Structure 1
Amino acid sequence: MSKLNKDILFLIFEELQDDSTLLFSCLMVNRIWCETVIPILWRKPWHYAIDYHKKFSLYYILTSYLSNDIKEFLTKKGIQISGQSLAFDYLSFCRSIDIKIINDIISIGSSLEYNKFLLQEEIYSLLIKKCPEIKYLNICGTYEIVHLPEAKVRLESLCELTCDTLIDPKYFYRLAHICQQIQRIIIINKNLKVNHGTIKLIEFQKNIKYFKWVDEFKEDDFWELLEDPYTENFNVLKKHANTLNHFDINLQFDDEFFNEYDYSFLQDAFLELYNLKILEIEAPIFLNNDDYFSKELEMVAYRNLEIIEIDVIDIYQVTCIVKNSLCLRELRVNDFDWNYDNYYNDSLNFFRTICENCFLIEHLTVPMFLENQFIEFEKLLKNCQNLRLLYLKHTTNIKGGNELEFGDYLSNVLIKVASTNLRKLIIPFDIRFSLKTLETFFEKWKGRPAISIHFDDYYFYQKDDSYVKLFDKYKVEKVIKDIFL
């Protein structure tokens, strides 16, 4: 292994670029391995899970690049500066700047605010001069770096930007003119009103593929102070419908007042983004039972959708979204909302839609079936033969008293038609298994891959040692991988 061709090693290490523990261990194998790993580690050196307050190596590497005059000046100010020589030209490999983490590293040199300011000026200037091109930039916290003389040349190739909305718009205007090929934009929204700089930044881009918006308001009474930081940003985002394929939205909202806020900006944007592959939404966009929005969803085809992850959604609306999603691999829903009068028809239609359209589905969340939906649920399992995880969600529409009958039915139908790829089950309170039913199920599951089962109603299985002994027995026999109680 240590004699592998250097090009082959590089390709292997590229695949491991997110595994910092393994990559750092590779440094110690030999010189060839070290020379091959260093450029990969230093592409995004701030990316790895390191406690920089206790690790001085990055600080000493950065300060080693400073000129002797600057080192002498900073030393006189009482700032610790490294005089060590470097084995590699590390910054020549660097393609990222993360202001927050770099500021943490800089604080190693001195705890005094003025000294940290002096270091920041020198280190930022050093990075923007030494790094050949910046692909990844996180400017949450300090923004002046975009006005350094070399910024235009270094940042024009930027492909990923993380920023917050407290930044003065003029810095966004500068970025918008320099960087127009950003593919991933992550906006941390801390502003209760619109920042017109982010609008220009989004508008000027030519190839946005990933957009993430996260609210992080510190005010406890943000709901009363909230103006509209959203509408203009999401309106301009619609212009990128051709390229945008990953939409990740996390809005901060108050459960008590969400019906009082107009979320049409998000609904309108979502309806336009027809090329999405990944949809992640934690927001009350699907909770206001807007008839107009539901009708519009019926007309939109999200044919490229592969992953849907939503906090809460109405069953009818999610059915509209997945009905033409023939590529769907994951449907993750934390909770289903429903109209009680229409629950039976809406949930039945949901089962049929999954059954008829989602043949590739691997991870599936479904509402708990009713007794008169057994046939449709069985058809769903029979058609979804790529299924690896099945998550049945508890619903208050189920009347108590039939939990063991549901357990008998589910164990039988899983043995009869479930995918041999099935690896994990999450069982709601509405379903309980008798000891005999479980033993029969495990016996018949033998020969398949080991399964993990999570029981929401864990008290039922913990109160009887017989269940624990049964689980232990089939773990030893490798029928069960894990039981979560």
Structure 2
Amino acid sequence: MCVFRDLEIFRIGYYELKAASIIIENTGGHLKKIFLGSPYELDEYVRNFDDDSLIFIRKVYEKCLSIEYLSLIFPPSKEHFNEFEKLLKICQNLKSLLLAIHINDDVLPEEELLIENEEILKILIRSSPTNLKEIRFICDVEFSLETLEEFLEKWKGRPALSILTSNYIYREKNYKKLINKYKNNGVIKDFICDYFEKVVNMDFKI
């Protein structure tokens, strides 16, 4: 079996979570950047996605205590949320997080999906490391105006946050007004709504 003791930067596709977990298991604990990605949005059924994404999260917080830049993708289940929160508490060097929610089998009603996404923001408020200054949201991650405002209000007192998203709902008038409000009071550093390809490109810097 190959061992990657000096590996610091790791790139692999969304569809290869099982392989990614095996590689992470055999690193020397020096990984600082893990980039999951694809030039296309993830919109297909992925075999064993729920189990593989859960194992991937666990491998990150078990083997990657030095991680600074991280991409995660998982379904909106309680078990995944619990593991995600554990990762945030353990990986204290995390600076930038790309988060994708992917529903593999069924399509959730919009109201239910918004409730699940609200839980993501609650977890980020409760457990984000102090170094976290950039969050990127893609796929099925969308927040109501009220939920986003509550999150930003509770983020006050932390380092200013940069948010990138590929969801164009945030270009609507009410969202732009809210975003500008929290830019003006120093909670938001930047809020960028752009093409999917640019948001998932972790080499793209604000």
How would you bin the TM-score normalised by the shorter chain? 0.7 to 0.9
Q: Which region of structure 1 is more displaced relative to structure 2, 310-319 or 415-424?
A: 310-319
Alignment of 1:77-156 (within 5 A): none
Contact 1:359 / 1:383 at 8 angstroms: preserved in 2? yes
Query: Take 1:339 and 1:317, find their aligned partners in 2: how far apart are those partners?
Result: 17
Query: Take 1:310 and 1:353, find their aligned partners in 2: how far apart are those partners?
Result: 15
Deviation at 1:440, TM superposition (A): 1.3
Query: Take 1:364 and 1:483, find their aligned partners in 2: how far apart are those partners?
Result: 19
Alignment of 1:23-422 (within 5 A): 299-310=1-12, 314-325=16-27, 326-335=29-38, 340-372=46-78, 373-393=80-100, 395=102, 397=104, 399-401=107-109, 402-422=112-132
The answer to whether 1:479 aligns with 2:182 is no
Letter in 1 for 2:124: L
Aligned twin of 2:155: 445
Residues 192-243 of structure 1: per-residue CA shift (max 9 Å, x gap): xxxxxxxxxxxxxxxxxxxxxxxxxxxxxxxxxxxxxxxxxxxxxxxxxxxx
Query: Take 2:65 and 2:138, find their aligned partners in 1: how far apart are those partners?
Result: 24
In structure 2, the CA distance between the partners of 1:394 and 1:414, relative to structure 1 (3 Å rule), is closer
1:430 to 103, 116, 140: 140
Contact 1:315 / 1:337 at 8 angstroms: preserved in 2? no
Greater radius of gyration (CA): 1
Runs of 4+ in 1 over 4 A off after TM superposition: 336-339
Aligned twin of 1:29: none
In structure 2, the CA distance between the partners of 1:378 and 1:422, relative to structure 1 (3 Å rule), is same
Deviation at 1:337, TM superposition (A): 11
TM-score by length of 2: 0.82
Deviation at 1:361, TM superposition (A): 0.4
Contact 1:369 / 1:377 at 8 angstroms: preserved in 2? no
Aligned twin of 2:170: 461
User: Tell me, what secondary structure is at the counterpart of 1:438?
Assistant: helix
Contact 2:96 / 2:133 at 8 angstroms: preserved in 1? yes
Query: Take 2:94 and 2:36, find their aligned partners in 1: how far apart are those partners?
Result: 16
Contact 2:163 / 2:192 at 8 angstroms: preserved in 1? yes
Contact 1:406 / 1:432 at 8 angstroms: preserved in 2? no
Contact 1:462 / 1:468 at 8 angstroms: preserved in 2? yes
Letter in 2 for 1:393: A
Contact 1:364 / 1:387 at 8 angstroms: preserved in 2? yes
Contact 1:313 / 1:337 at 8 angstroms: preserved in 2? no
Letter in 1 for 2:60: I
Contact 2:30 / 2:66 at 8 angstroms: preserved in 1? yes
Query: Take 2:175 and 2:44, find their aligned partners in 1: how far apart are those partners?
Result: 35
Contact 1:359 / 1:384 at 8 angstroms: preserved in 2? yes
Letter in 1 for 2:170: Y
TM-score by length of 1: 0.36
User: Tell me, what secondary structure is at the counterpart of 1:390?
Assistant: strand
Contact 2:68 / 2:95 at 8 angstroms: preserved in 1? yes
Unaligned runs of 5+ in 1: 1-298
In structure 2, the CA distance between the partners of 1:455 and 1:337, relative to structure 1 (3 Å rule), is closer
Deviation at 1:306, TM superposition (A): 0.7
User: Tell me, what secondary structure is at the counterpart of 1:448?
Assistant: coil
Deviation at 1:323, TM superposition (A): 1.4
Letter in 2 for 1:462: R
CA RMSD of aligned residues (A): 2.2
In structure 2, the CA distance between the partners of 1:429 and 1:339, relative to structure 1 (3 Å rule), is closer
Deviation at 1:396, TM superposition (A): 5.0
User: Tell me, what secondary structure is at the counterpart of 2:139?
Assistant: coil
User: Tell me, what secondary structure is at the counterpart of 1:466?
Assistant: helix
Contact 2:75 / 2:103 at 8 angstroms: preserved in 1? no
In structure 2, the CA distance between the partners of 1:313 and 1:304, relative to structure 1 (3 Å rule), is farther
Task: Give the total of aligned pairs.
Answer: 185
Unaligned runs of 5+ in 2: 194-206
Aligned twin of 1:28: none
Contact 1:420 / 1:448 at 8 angstroms: preserved in 2? yes
Residues 15-66 of structure 1: per-residue CA shift (max 9 Å, x gap): xxxxxxxxxxxxxxxxxxxxxxxxxxxxxxxxxxxxxxxxxxxxxxxxxxxx
Query: Take 2:24 and 2:15, find their aligned partners in 1: how far apart are those partners?
Result: 13
Aligned twin of 1:133: none
